[in-house]
């Protein structure tokens, strides 16, 4: 069974701080996605990475796919209260319809 | 604006009742999914459908069944609700990835919080 472990599980930081969330697996994925979920809503896609070593930036968010395509990280620079939410990574193998979701990181940014 | 809608945001049912959760998407997507979300466990796939009348079991199908009679609608059925099925249920849809492709986006509905008492 493929598993995706996220760390940390919970993170509470002050506005303006930087943080990194990790998503690790022993399995190789052909693509990996990051979602953010706000209370009372479904997850919304932030980014998809498909190439080992790939780095993508979305404003203050930087996503990296590991060289071996087994892990990924999400780095937030100068966090803002609007970044508060549950961050989920999800990995898929080539040609499959299914994504395996990580356990989630609940982030709270205090003003 | 793409949309996935779920029939109820909150639902309270009694043990043993038959429960229907409905999901509708307006994006003409081939694939539709039902997940349940529990604290510390992330999203776990119950069933998915890659075409009308086609379905495959996910990781936790026990106690659930699904129906997809039309492309835009995917229903999750709890044949006899039990307290351990109290959870948040999320429906999603996506395009089909195609052979060897990946990276398709899943669009999620707002979720149905089901409580079984």
Write out residues in chain A with pLDDT < 70, as ranges.
1-2, 95
- The pLDDT tens digits of the residues spanning B53-74 come to 899 999 999 999 999 999 999 9
| pLDDT at residue number B33 | 95
- Contact A102/B at CB under 8 A: yes
Q: How far apart are the first and last CA of chain B?
A: 37
SS3 of B7, please?
coil
Which helix (H) or strand (E) segment holds residue A9: the answer is: none
- The pLDDT tens digits of the residues spanning B33-54 come to 999 999 888 899 999 998 898 9
**Is the pLDDT reported for residue B1 higher than 60?**
yes
For residue B47, the chain A residue with the least C-alpha distance is A98
Distance set, CA A77 to CA A23, A58, A107, B44, B63 (Å) = 18, 11, 13, 30, 44
Q: Give the number of A-B residue pairs with CB atoms closer than 8 Å.
A: 75
List own/partner pairs for B75-80 with CB under 8 A and 24 or more apart: B75/B20, B75/B21, B75/B22, B75/B23, B76/B20, B76/B21, B76/B23, B76/B34, B76/B46, B76/B47, B77/B18, B77/B19, B77/B20, B77/B21, B78/B13, B78/B17, B78/B18, B78/B19, B78/B21, B79/B18, B80/B16, B80/B17, B80/B18
Contacts of A44 in chain B (CB under 8 A): 108
Contacts of A30 in chain B (CB under 8 A): 102-103
Contacts of B100 in chain A (CB under 8 A): 94-95
Contacts of B31 in chain A (CB under 8 A): 97
- The pLDDT tens digits of the residues spanning A5-29 come to 999 999 999 999 999 999 999 889 9
Quick one: which of B38, B67, B106, B63 has its CA closest to A90? B106
| pLDDT at residue number A3 | 78
- Cβ contact B97–A95 (<8 Å): yes
Do residues B111 and B37 make contact, with C-beta atoms less than 8 angstroms apart? Answer: yes
- Cβ contact B42–A45 (<8 Å): no
- Cβ contact A99–B48 (<8 Å): no
For residue A36, the chain B residue with the least C-alpha distance is B108
- Cβ contact A42–B108 (<8 Å): yes
- Cβ contact A41–B110 (<8 Å): yes
For residue A94, the chain B residue with the least C-alpha distance is B100
For residue A92, the chain B residue with the least C-alpha distance is B102
| pLDDT at residue number B67 | 96
Task: Tell me the sheet residues that pair with B27.
Answer: none
| pLDDT at residue number A104 | 93
Beta strands across the sheet bearing B19-25: B4-6, B19-25, B73-78, B64-70
Query: Residue B81 carries which DSSP code?
Result: -
For the residues of B37-68, what is the DSSP string, one character each? EETTTEEEEEEEEEETTEEEE-S--TTEEEEE
Q: How confident is the model at residue B103 (pLDDT cuts 50, 70, 90)?
A: low
- Cβ contact B108–A103 (<8 Å): no
């Amino acid at each position: 069974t493929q598993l995706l472990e996220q760390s940390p599980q919970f993170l509470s930081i002050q506005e303006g701080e930087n943080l990194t969330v990790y998503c690790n697996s022993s399995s190789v994925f052909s693509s990996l996605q990051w979602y953010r979920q706000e209370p009372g809503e479904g997850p919304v896609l932030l980014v998809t990475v498909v190439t080992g070593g790939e780095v993508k930036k979305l404003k203050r968010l930087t996503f990296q796919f590991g060289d071996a395509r087994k892990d990924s990280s999400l780095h937030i620079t100068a966090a803002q209260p609007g970044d508060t939410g549950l961050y989920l990574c999800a990995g898929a193998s080539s040609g499959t319809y299914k994504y395996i979701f990580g356990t989630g990181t609940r982030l709270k940014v205090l003003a | 604006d793409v949309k996935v809608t779920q029939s109820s945001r909150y639902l309270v049912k009694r043990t043993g009742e038959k429960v229907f959760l409905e999901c509708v998407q307006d994006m003409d997507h081939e694939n539709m999914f039902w997940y349940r979300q529990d604290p510390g466990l992330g999203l776990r796939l119950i069933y998915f459908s890659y075409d009308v009348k086609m379905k495959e079991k996910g990781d936790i199908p026990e106690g659930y069944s699904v129906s997809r009679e039309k492309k835009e609608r995917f229903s999750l059925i709890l044949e006899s609700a039990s307290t351990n099925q109290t959870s948040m249920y999320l429906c999603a849809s996506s395009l089909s990835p195609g052979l060897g492709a990946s990276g398709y986006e899943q669009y999620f509905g707002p979720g149905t919080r089901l409580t079984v008492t």
